[in-house]
Amino acid sequence: MFQIYNMHKLYLYVDVENAAAVHIYKKLGFETEGTIKDQFYAMGSYHDAYYMGLTRTNYDK
């Protein structure tokens, strides 16, 4: 995405309880930038989400 579309930043939201996904995203270079309270409604309750980002600068390291 960075080379082809000349993007500066990729971002995503992931449920804080989804440890496997958080681990993979961190392995790919994404960093947790914040927590969003009650972002998702699933299985009868609201869940917090991490806002994670990866900038071109961090990707090129």
Active site residue 25: yes
Distance CA 22, CA 56 (A): 19
Q: Which among 5, 11, 25, 51 is annotated as catalytic?
A: 25
Instruction: Extract the tokens encoding 8.
Output: 């500066």
Residue closest to 18 by CA, chosen among 42, 54, 2, 44: 42
Report the catalytic residues: 25
